[in-house]
Amino acid sequence: MTKASAQAPVKFLLVDDLEENLVALAALLERSDLMLLKAHSGQQALELLLEHDIALALIDVQMPEMDGFELAELMRGAERTRHVPIIFITAGIRERQRVFQGYGAGAVDFLFKPIEPHILRHKAETFFQLARQRQALAETLRLNEELMAVVGHDLRNPLEVILMSAELLQNGDHGAEVKKHAERLHRSGTRMRQIIDELLDMTRARLGGVIPIEPRKTDLLQLTKAAVAETQAAHPEFQVQLTANGELRGERDAARLEQVLSNLLGNAVRPGPKGKPVRVTLESDGPNVTLYVHNDGHIPAELLPRVFEPFQNSRESRAKAGGLGLGLYIVEQIVLAHGGSVDVHSVPADGTTFRIQLPRVCRALPQPRVP
């Protein structure tokens, strides 16, 4: 099947109370890759607009009961139809006030009778091409979702078996050589799991506009203590100091905040000078809580504006981190999903501080529907 045949036909709507006008317009525009919908009144047009995704509406201005301007205003007042492009067709004189009224009602253009066929086709084709591009984008998004489902299920499940087998070999009585290879296998598997998780989170954020969260009653202090202890155990050469003030319990997604803490602390211990402590501070301020993670490292000024963009780390940094350079991007997306904010301040004399502010009570944001 070719790409052209796989695409659904582009739908456009003709609205005119006179059948002979609809027939004449249809004869000028009808093609095999287009689907023509005809309406003899404003009310019939509204019904068709609710049933179909329309690429373009060609609307006659002069109609009984509901004229073209009134129909356009109703279309602009509904979420489903407000973005449908409208071209008005009129036999009236080109009065400036009348034209302004049409554009104010939502028109993108006017056609005056008698209609020049090549002008009509040229203007309509512009919107048909835009509709085809939207169809192609929607198909790409659908395929991306399917690919991520495969990555999330068909790769993660066998990977978990590998990790479990590596753990059994590590804990069993199989000799030093086997344990050494099992540890290497487990490290590689853990890195692969991190890469899969980062790709899935990035795709969710890019496709849906926000990473999904599930807020529950959570103590941010306990989450941070656990993250600090884990970081300290993995990097005993670094000292991580934690200071906390105020009430830090609230409603947040604990698992997602563990990701945030793990990424920030992991970044803090890698570039910071050994022997200099990483400082983690939690503060409560009314409806908000603030987390600071500070080390004595420095981010170059030219990189600061892009620090939360994906794939900004160098290949060498990504190899050391065991990921794809998506950590800070995911941190920002998780914080935004909680209704919070994140920023970074870095100068050579003072080091680098990441600051995250979260509302005490977070609500999951609605997930936009991918077309």
Cis peptide leading into 114, omega within 30 of 0?
Answer: yes
| pLDDT tens-place string over residues 20-29 | 999 998 999 8
Pairing of strands 351-359, 288-295: antiparallel
Could you tell me if 220 and 249 are in contact, meaning their C-beta atoms sit under 8 angstroms apart? yes
The CA dihedral of 233, 234, 238, 243, to the nearest 10 degrees, is -60
CA gap 37, 60 in Å, rounded: 14
The reported pLDDT for the residue numbered 316 is 44
DSSP 339: T
DSSP reduced 3-state for 253: coil
Which string of b and e fits 106-132 if b means at least 16 CB within 10 Å? bbbbbbeeebeeeebeebbeebbeebb
What's the pLDDT at 149?
65
Closest CA to 26 of 11, 16, 14: 14
Q: Which is higher by pLDDT, 97 or 30?
A: 30
How high is the pLDDT of residue 243?
A: 95
Residue 261: the pLDDT is 93
- Residue 299 has which token pair? 């981010």
pLDDT tens-place string over residues 242-287: 999 999 999 999 988 998 998 899 888 875 566 688 999 999 988 9
Q: Are the beta carbons of 122 and 93 closer than 8 angstroms?
A: no
Q: In what order do the strands lie in the sheet with 109-112?
A: 34-39, 10-15, 56-60, 86-90, 109-112
Residues facing residue 90 across a β-bridge? 112
Task: Summarize pLDDT for 326-366 with one digit per residue, the tens.
Answer: 789 889 989 998 999 999 999 988 899 999 999 998 876 55
Distance CA 338, CA 263 (A): 17
Nearest alpha-carbon partner for 155 in 165, 147, 164: 147
Got the DSSP string for 1-46? --HHHHSPPEEEEEE-S-HHHHHHHHHHH--TTEEEEEESSHHHHH
Q: What is the pLDDT of residues 9-60, one digit of tens each?
A: 899 999 999 999 999 989 998 888 899 999 999 999 999 999 999 999 999 9
Q: Give the Cα separation of 71 and 74 in Å (integer).
A: 5
pTM: 0.54
Residue 160, both tokens: 């978990």
What mean pLDDT is reported for the chain? 82
Residues whose CB falls within 8 Å of the CB of residue 44, separated by 6 or more in sequence, listed in order: 15
104-157 pLDDT, tens digit each = 877 888 888 888 889 999 989 988 988 888 888 777 767 766 666 666 666 777
In this structure, how many other beta carbons lie within 10 angstroms of the beta carbon of residue 50? Answer: 10
| 3 state SS of 164 | helix
pLDDT attached to residue 133: 86
**Exposed, middle or buried by CB within 10 Å (0-12, 13-18, 19+), for 302?**
exposed
Residue 198: pLDDT above 80? no
Mean pLDDT, residues 229-240? 86
Distance (Å, rounded) from C-alpha 210 to C-alpha 279? 29
